[in-house]
Structure 1
Amino acid sequence: MVELDQFKYTLSTYDDTLVEVRDSLDLDGKVKRIDELDKSMEEPGFWDDPETSTRLMREAKNLKDTVESYRKLEQEYEDIQVMLEMGYEENDPSLIPEIQGMMDDFVEKLEAIRIQTLLSGEYDNNNAILKLNAGAGGTEACDWCSMLYRMYQRWADKKGFTTAVIDYLDGEEAGIKSITLQINGENAYGFLKSERGVHRLVRISPFNSAGKRQTSFVSCDVMPDIKEDLDVEVNPDELRIDTYRSSGAGGQHINKTSSAIRITHLPTGIVVQCQNERSQFQNKEVAMQMLKTKLYMMKQEEHAEKLSDIRGDVKDINFGNQIRSYVMQPYTLVKDHRTGAESGNVNAVLDGDIDLFISAYLKWVNLDSKKSD
């Protein structure tokens, strides 16, 4: 049957990709490292240092998950080959829809694991802290900020990730002025680092009584959530610590006391805020860890370029500095200005379908780094 011949040819085109993915994953090296970690866990005293033991257990789990994912992919490849042989032997057209479904599932999983091979940064596996700030555009920009917050929340939900609001500031009339969101999930930072920059919205604003098209901007900053102790010294004399009442949705603890914390690092101008914890002490602790993470990344950049992809600096929130545009009028298009990736389905993108842009960014960065080598 012609359909079976086409399936067989299509499957063969992925042979090289499977080998490339296996080599990129360094599967043999991962299996060796898993054996080393398993043996170390059996040694007496392994649990004496909870921080180290937790980190090594997390590493072992991630390695095992990666190896298992690839082996399942190889098994699916073999299962499709078996189904194709059955199709030829039985000349049964009823097998075609089943084979098509298996092919679609295989291709989707292969692409997902191929993207995973591009997540090789030191902190790519970490959880992420994402901050949105409304820029030029007034109330429209604040509404745009709330739309982006929903977009990332929906994306996280679809990934099975959990989220928590660390800090929140309402817009004066509508929307959100700024929000800091913690996103917890495997490779959360590795995926979301692609979102750092200025996002531009073009639409007929519901806040414009003249019904004119308006452009607004929101900046997105992303950094990894680093739990371990960092080699960073913070001079208390170089900090300005302010307390304020929490704002936004937060239940019974919101607005009762001035427990929210804002820390400004005077030498660099870095500002971090936290309001979601129950006490001022806890908020200060979280904010200090965020500040140390920022300073640590800046320090690493100054002395080595290995962490240059997590700098965290964001350009001015203004026209001409955007990384991505979302146009709703006079036509519908979302376009990434770095990679050229685009989608005409703006509503789907704003509903969290941003993997197209994340994948394109990771491939673009990987290609760029190869050219630099």
Structure 2
Amino acid sequence: MRADVEAAKADIEQSIELLRRRLDWEPALRKLDELNARVEDPTLWDDPAGAQAVMRERTRLASSVDAVRSLERDLADALGYAELADEEGDEATLEEARAQLKAIKERGARAELEALLSGEADGNDAFVEINSGAGGTESNDWAGMLTRMYTRWASAHGMTVDWLEETAGEQAGIKSVTLQVKGPNAYGWLKTEAGVHRLVRISPFDSAAKRHTSFASVWVYPVVDDTIVIDINPADVRTDTYRASGAGGQHINKTDSAVRLTHIPTGVAVACQAGRSQHANREEAWKMLRARLYELELQKREAAQQALEEQKTDIGWGHQIRSYVLQPYQMVKDLRTEVETSDTQGVLDGDLDAFMAASLAQRVGVTREG
């Protein structure tokens, strides 16, 4: 067999071995059999919350097992195809086999990264909060650009985005926005984006065409479901209502329908204005508050992650995780992992996978050889 085919085979086999090891293969298969048996038990739904937890665990485990088996099956098929083409001297067919192996290798690499998403809430949907830093219109515009970047990333990965709250900038962009990103492992991927993002460019709002530096913070926390109990004393929560602003239709400014909740002991505040009624916004805001407090608890368990409030309050020099330079040269560089690219437009259009993958691997401290 050709050397390049052998090399691809070795890479894919290494991915499969790593996936099996991280999944703890034999115990995982036994656990999946147990979950399948529980799903077939007609008494399972006597406890709806427990049944949902079982179904989620079964889906997650079955997906991981199927990914490994699919790689093994497709590798065997592609190798057989390549071997036959090599024996017959059919270069065109051999090239097709090479393309198949390349695609399988890429799938294996992606599956390795997804196997790292083993955190308690990694599989959940995510709330993404973006706030502009000091700098007025320029920073507001940068926050708007980041919002577009993340919505495009979500769309490219088959996820949906709901806008929960938005405070528009006075001239352009946004002062703050809260999004809910819905999709598999949304929080697991997006949590790597939390921090301060720095933009350097010639401002379109400066008549002197001077270079400006702007900052915006990105905050990410998981959507938690009803099976996770977060004990909040209502007396610790201050409720404020106000008239919503921004997009939303003619109804949006007529009543004090928007709701802001502030958890006094921690200072955590959330706001929602997406619903047409104060009741709907209050319900969604409570979900967001529970999620934020749950994320605070998760942060205590992750010593490697920076303190949450430090990231939110210092939107400026010394706290950024990534720099986006548009002038005098073009470069996006992640200051945690040193990953960089000159394709700034691609990044701003949502091509974030390389940055997310490197940050995730660094975060969990796993190397390919480990």
Picking from 18, 23, 32, the partner of 2:16 is 18
**Structure-2 separation of matches of 1:260 and 1:335:** 38
Instruction: Tell me the equivalent position of 1:254.
Output: 252
Q: Is the 8 A contact 2:304 2:363 kept in 1?
A: no
| Residues 85-135 of structure 1: per-residue CA shift (max 9 Å, x gap) | 112210111123312321221121011100011111111111111100000
5+ unaligned residues in a row in structure 2: which ranges? none
Shift of 1:284: 1.0
For 2:88, the equivalent position in structure 1 comes to 90
Q: Is the Cα–Cα contact under 8 Å of residues 334 and 343 in structure 1 kept in the other structure?
A: yes
Cα distance, 1:222 vs structure 2: 0.3
Q: In structure 1, what residue type is equivalent to 2:144?
A: S
Q: Is the 8 A contact 1:297 1:307 kept in 2?
A: no
2:234 maps to 236
Contact 1:115 1:359 in 2 (8 A): yes
Corresponding position of 1:327: 325
Deviations 1:276-334 (A, max 9, x none): 123211211111122122223334655xx258759644251012210000000111111
Partner of 1:27: 25
Task: Render the CA deviation track for 1:2-38: whole Å, top value 9, x for unaligned.
Answer: xx33222332243333211221122333322222122
Could you tell me how far apart the structure 1 residues matched to 2:201 and 2:340 are? 17
| Structure 1 match to 2:63 | 65
Alpha-carbon distance in structure 1 between the residues aligned to 2:50 and 2:90: 57
Equivalent residues in 2 for 1:111-130 (5 A)? 111-130=109-128
Structure 2 counterpart of 1:292: 290
**Matching residue of 1:99:** 97
Q: Which whole-Å CA distance do the structure 2 matches of 1:22 and 1:92 have between them?
A: 34
Q: 1:312 to 1:166 in 2, by over 3 A?
A: farther
- Looking at structure 2, the residues matched to 301 and 156 of structure 1 have their Cα atoms a distance apart, in angstroms, of 24
Q: Which runs of 5+ in 1 are unaligned?
A: none
Match status 1:180 vs 2:149:
no
**What is the distance in 1 between the residues matched to 2:132 and 2:342?**
24
1:195 aligned to which of 193, 201, 206 = 193
CA–CA distance in structure 1, aligned partners of residues 282 and 168 of structure 2: 21
Aligned residue number for residue 141 of structure 2: 143
- Runs of at least 4 residues of structure 1 off by over 6 A? none
8 Å contact from structure 2 (residues 12, 104) kept in 1: no
| Structural mapping, 1:148-227, within 5 Å | 148-227=146-225
Matched residues in 2 for 1:191 and 1:236: separation?
A: 32
SS at match of 1:14: helix
Q: Aligned partner of 1:221: which letter?
A: W
Partner of 2:347: 349
Provide the rounded CA distance (Å) in 2 between the counterparts of 1:31 and 1:222: 33
Which is worse superposed, 72-81 or 113-122? 72-81
2:199–2:215 Cα contact (<8 Å) kept: yes
Aligned residues: 367
Q: Cα distance 1:297–1:94, how it changes in 2: closer, same or farther (>3 A)?
A: closer
- In 2, the alpha carbon distance for the partners of 1:203 and 1:215 equals 7
Q: Percent of aligned pairs with the same residue?
A: 44
Distance in 2 (CA, whole Å) between partners of 1:310 and 1:297 is 13
The alpha-carbon distance between structure 1 residues 63 and 330, as it changes in their structure 2 partners (threshold 3 A), is same
Deviation at 1:367, TM superposition (A): 2.0
Cα distance in 2 between the residues matched to 1:21 and 1:169:
44
**1:363 and 2:361 matched:** yes
Please report the RMSD computed on the Cα atoms of aligned residues, expressed in angstroms.
2.2
Q: Tell me how far 1:228 sits from its aligned partner.
A: 1.8
Letter in 2 for 1:119: L
Q: Say if 1:294 and 1:312, in contact at 8 Å, map to a contact too.
A: no
Contact 1:193 1:310 in 2 (8 A): no
Whether 1:272 aligns to 2:270 is: yes
Q: Distance in 2 between matches of 1:301 and 1:110?
A: 30
